[in-house]
Amino acid sequence: VGGRRVADIRRDFPAFDPVDGAAPRTYLDSAATSQRPRQVLDAERDYLEHHLAAVHRGTSAAVGESTSLFEDARETVARFVGAGERELVWAENATDALNIVALGMADASAGLGGPEASVFALGPGDEIVVTEAEHHANLIPWQRLAARTGATLVPVRVDQHGLWSIDAMRAVLNERTRVLAFAEVSNVTGSIAPVAEVAELAHAHGALVVLDACQSVPHRPVDFPAAGADFAAFSGHKMLGPNGIGALYGRAELLDALPPARTGGSTITLVTLEHADFLPSPHRFEAGTQPVSQAVALADAVRYLEAIGMASVAAHEAAFAERVIDGVSSMPGVRILGPQAGAARAGLVSVAIEGLHAHDVGQFLDESGVVVRTGHHCAQPLHRALGLTASTRASSHVYTTGDEADRFVAALGEARKFFGVAA
């Protein structure tokens, strides 16, 4: 991958060190959370041991140093997604980042934020469009925004494979559409959305484009401004980085106009007993003490990924998915969700096995030392549309080997035999 052998890459990850001389488990749940290389773990520890101080508060040299590390990290992560520094707001995770947008729009709809926030003000008659394939993180905040404002939530339906089409999207977009929210890469089907094409369509109707980039930023090259996203959200823990940090990208003029839903210290210019004036982006959104060690270490995760190259990461993971699909295609009763053999997809594969509950499959795989995700993957409407309650997902990252794909396929075959759904 990017000129390095996967075996060498794996040596950077303590999680893959042998346990009591035995091979570690086969970890195929990177779409839920990724493992972290020593470079990231060491960076966080180094910050905590040698540079820990408050940021943006006080005048000491220690605060200055800590603040520089924090802001340099922002610049590194922003550059990674094509953004300017003022266009990247730290959040807890992607869920939090999406809520910053939806709650800010609710505030704007309630008249907070002044005239510049009118672009975000929704009311009865306005429409928020989401796809039926969304993760709950990119669905429920919009349900709540609709409930708070009287706007209507409009779904883009999926087909029998769980995929939505540009035609289905075109059919629901109109001049009442104010927001279009969708995932760049589905965490269940692995399908890859044509973001630029969809954004152009949405903008032609005057809608804001909110991208759930949780499964794209860790795995493929992204450039949010070039793709036409107005806002985008992603999580550190899925991109070899720490927990407790994520980011919201937004176009600078939009972020400067979006009311901060969470308020408090560090977000303001002037405060009286009656009123507060807020800083421009990004600080207007970063209320309270920030996840500094996590931000600093996330920048190291970005450097780690950049050294390999995101195009190589994407190709490596696509090969994993292809190998899994090749392996399971010949198994009767195994249904591959999402793009079918030969079609483009990200490095994850979800399957449903006729006559077998995903939790039974998951338990069998777990006992075989293969770690996968089973359940609805926080996408109940999508599973409902597919006539399922649950599926089994194998997902990869830069450290995943072809052998691990084969081990998943073999264990799935064994599970089918064990539960009596195959000869």
Catalytic positions:
378
Minimum CB separation of residue 313 from ligand PMP in Å reads 17
Q: Could you tell me the smallest distance in angstroms from the CB atom of residue 184 to ligand PMP?
A: 8
Helix ranges restricted to H, 50-136: 61-80, 94-109
Residue 35 or 235: which CB sits closer to ligand PMP?
Answer: 235
> Which is closer to ligand PMP, CB of 187 or CB of 368?
187
> Considering the complex, what minimum distance in angstroms separates the CB of residue 19 from ligand PMP?
26
DSSP assignment letter at 234: E
In whole angstroms, the minimum distance from the beta carbon of 175 to ligand PMP comes to: 28
Contacting positions for ligand PMP (CB under 6 A): 32, 93-95, 135, 137-138, 183, 187, 212, 214-215, 235, 378
Question: Is the omega angle on the peptide bond into residue 282 within 30 degrees of 0, that is, cis?
Answer: yes
**Contacts of residue 242, Cβ cutoff 8 Å, sequence gap at least 6:** 36, 40, 44, 236, 291, 293, 294, 297, 298, 301
Q: Would you say 183 or 314 has its CB closer to ligand PMP?
A: 183
What would the two tokens of residue 213 be?
């980039």
**Who contacts 159 (Cβ-Cβ below 8 Å, separation ≥6)?**
165
Per the structure block, which two tokens stand in for 86? Answer: 């003022």
Angle, to 10 degrees, between the axis of helix 38-46 and the axis of helix 292-308?
150
Phi-psi region of 252 (alpha: psi -120 to 50; beta: other; left: phi over 0): alpha
Q: How far is the CB of 298 from ligand PMP (least distance, A)?
A: 13
CA-wise closest residue to 254 among 223, 284, 275, 234:
284
Query: Of 93 and 109, which has the nearer Cβ to ligand PMP?
Result: 93
Identity of the residue, 213 or 336, whose beta carbon is nearer to ligand PMP in the bound complex: 213
- The separation between CA 166 and the C-alpha centre of its own chain, rounded to angstroms, equals 21
* Distance set, CA 281 to CA 1, 89, 285, 290 (Å): 37, 7, 7, 15
